[in-house]
Structure 1
């Protein structure tokens, strides 16, 4: 008997070639319809925020050039990259939209409600304090907006159909970087309360609690993205005065990801959810160590400004490299659109392998 998990991964596996070299979009759309993948809902930080922070009182915004210079019509949207995010590529491959809209968008359309939106907020994290430090949306608030989204979906299609759409959706959760870079290693509060390992355990427990909340709200399919190789970020290398990746930061990234995966194993067994894990750490390490494999050239610095320290406001109005598609990093922290495309493709492949195993 073919399980729903296998059916889902067969549909998602077909997306992989599109993101790494080309596939008939019609084929992917037909698969999405056939296997009843209804929509994509997104939670997280700047890695998946398409512009929710534009609508809240925070300085953590990316709604100005050169952010978005390679987006459709070359306009900034609030995405912290030169173009689209990994979740945009996934949604396009499934046949829904080329760009997922932020839930707080003032002109959210019925089609957006039907096929999925992002609740993510740049600078957020698993730790509520991380979001509060930057006055952005903590995961608890993102889940409140998800409840509101469900109510709007019910008004649009009725209660029964709305529950079915949520049940057959794919939820994406991507955060954790800011808990370390914007919180633990910058602010004094958490280091006084926790050792680094204790804080990692605390974050993993927070993630687990939020996954339980998602399950209670009807989510049955979840993709969790691990933290990337933080030591390879240009900003971290600059601050640590190193030319190569800072292994201290990479080691705790890897350690934290292991703790996340243990919690996800428990959630699979106790909640009965279908959960995939994306090894963002491994993807970044491979791209930095083997750039030619992905058609990349520059791995040590970002495309914006000097590429060593600029991100967010300090990237505003800066000159950029000639071809961002050859760079791993757009600014000193965030990936380029090309890197997000690579992440999307490999993430889907990882999901297929894990659920088929």
Structure 2
């Protein structure tokens, strides 16, 4: 190979490399969003549980039936989930890949991946009883990701730029309250609801600190869903009304978490924080479904005792199964959240 040809090839490769890294950083005013990283539970999980020895996984039909190709990817829903829609809204990609996907492409690393694990939570007990990935172990996965990213982009400075300009999306607390606290005895014997929700907020701050210490600077922290209105909770009351105690606990946690997030800027210099209210917009769909084209708020479209045969049109249901909103529900509530993220973090 002659020198001229070699020079042209190196120039082309340099251009491709610059485009590759640059395209991972989406301009928004004077700032950028380079990537999205998701941590927490099944609201964000895009397939990290698929190879785990756990019953808490959904890599089978009819899950994913409304995704392009109709393939079950391990997402807890009929189609795309909340993390996918945030990634798309930030101009990154339409599907946020799972970090533990054995077929994860290096090309996906600079624009973000998902570390969340369905069934997980802030409490170690929550993850242990279901055999899923605890949030602290998700942070370890992120640490391994950074090493892999360094190899992909070629130098640590570029990797650090991606890490510091990324949005860190966190959804945790749903399973801690709904499963660990209300369906097991261990935590109820140790803590009141108030004491346990205080602990969850402390653990959230610890999670944020771990990510901050690794270079994270932009945090979008989600509150819990209206847990008492999930089909699984309503079933205990004949599906007629929402279960009060779970909703009260969720509301208590959300208020404490929101107040904490507002004050975190003083604790973590140079970082930006925002709280995402998931409770109110979903409760709005439940209380006024017709306004958004829904016909059923009490039952899941599939995979419940009352929906053994999946419904024909999931877009008419607020919930897909016993605990997870449908793709249509996410599509309905996400647009203002995306604009809020852009305004506060990008």
TM-score (norm 2): 0.87
**Is residue 220 of structure 2 the alignment partner of residue 223 of structure 1?**
yes
User: Partners of 1:160 and 1:209 in 2: how far apart?
Assistant: 26
Shift of 1:31: 4.3
Aligned to 1:123, the other structure's residue is in SS state: coil
Aligned to 1:222, the other structure's residue is in SS state: strand
> What are the Cα deviations for residues 148-177 of structure 1, in whole angstroms up to 9, with x where unaligned?
111111111110000000000011001211
Q: Contact 1:47–1:174 at 8 Å: present in 2 too? A: yes
User: Partners of 2:272 and 2:250 in 1: how far apart?
Assistant: 24
User: Partners of 1:262 and 1:299 in 2: how far apart?
Assistant: 30
User: Partners of 1:127 and 1:262 in 2: how far apart?
Assistant: 20
**Is residue 48 of structure 2 the alignment partner of residue 52 of structure 1?**
yes
Higher relative contact order (CA 8 A, sep 6+): 1
Shift of 1:319: 2.0
User: Partners of 1:288 and 1:296 in 2: how far apart?
Assistant: 9
Shift of 1:76: 0.4
Shift of 1:244: 1.6
Residue number in structure 1 paired with 2:274: 276
**Is residue 239 of structure 2 the alignment partner of residue 238 of structure 1?**
no
User: Partners of 1:321 and 1:101 in 2: how far apart?
Assistant: 27
Q: Contact 2:172–2:223 at 8 Å: present in 1 too? A: yes
2:145 to 149, 170, 182: 149
| 1:31-50 mapped onto 2 (5 Å cutoff) | 31=27, 35-50=31-46
The number of residue pairs the alignment matches comes to 320
Residue number in structure 2 paired with 1:303: 301
User: Partners of 2:112 and 2:26 in 1: how far apart?
Assistant: 18
Shift of 1:230: 0.8
User: Partners of 2:145 and 2:215 in 1: how far apart?
Assistant: 12
Residue number in structure 2 paired with 1:77: 73
Aligned to 1:83, the other structure's residue is in SS state: coil
Aligned to 1:41, the other structure's residue is in SS state: strand
Aligned to 1:179, the other structure's residue is in SS state: helix
> What are the Cα deviations for residues 102-123 of structure 1, in whole angstroms up to 9, with x where unaligned?
0011121122111100000000
TM-score (norm 1): 0.85
Q: Contact 2:219–2:345 at 8 Å: present in 1 too? A: no
**Is residue 118 of structure 2 the alignment partner of residue 134 of structure 1?**
no
User: Partners of 2:297 and 2:305 in 1: how far apart?
Assistant: 10
2:312 to 315, 322, 333: 322
User: Partners of 1:57 and 1:81 in 2: how far apart?
Assistant: 20
User: Partners of 1:63 and 1:208 in 2: how far apart?
Assistant: 32
**Is residue 204 of structure 2 the alignment partner of residue 204 of structure 1?**
no
Q: Which runs of 5+ in 1 are unaligned?
A: 1-28, 311-317
Change over 3 Å in CA distance of 1:306–1:217 after alignment to 2: closer
Q: Which runs of 5+ in 2 are unaligned?
A: 1-24
Aligned to 2:69, the other structure's residue is in SS state: helix
Out of 265-274 and 61-70, give the one that drifted further: 265-274
Out of 232-241 and 170-179, give the one that drifted further: 232-241
Residue number in structure 1 paired with 2:11: none
1:346 to 332, 336, 344: 336
Shift of 1:196: 1.3
> What are the Cα deviations for residues 291-346 of structure 1, in whole angstroms up to 9, with x where unaligned?
233222221211015565x7xxxxxxx42112111110001211101112223223
Shift of 1:351: 3.9
Change over 3 Å in CA distance of 1:306–1:87 after alignment to 2: closer
Shift of 1:259: 1.1
User: Partners of 1:217 and 1:42 in 2: how far apart?
Assistant: 15
| 1:105-124 mapped onto 2 (5 Å cutoff) | 105-124=101-120
**Is residue 245 of structure 2 the alignment partner of residue 248 of structure 1?**
yes
Residue number in structure 2 paired with 1:25: none
Q: Contact 1:205–1:263 at 8 Å: present in 2 too? A: no
Residue number in structure 2 paired with 1:20: none
Task: Provide the alpha-carbon RMSD of the alignment.
Answer: 2.0
| Structure with larger Rg | 2
User: Partners of 2:239 and 2:76 in 1: how far apart?
Assistant: 24
> What are the Cα deviations for residues 6-43 of structure 1, in whole angstroms up to 9, with x where unaligned?
xxxxxxxxxxxxxxxxxxxxxxx974597421110110
Residue number in structure 1 paired with 2:292: 294
User: Partners of 1:188 and 1:234 in 2: how far apart?
Assistant: 22
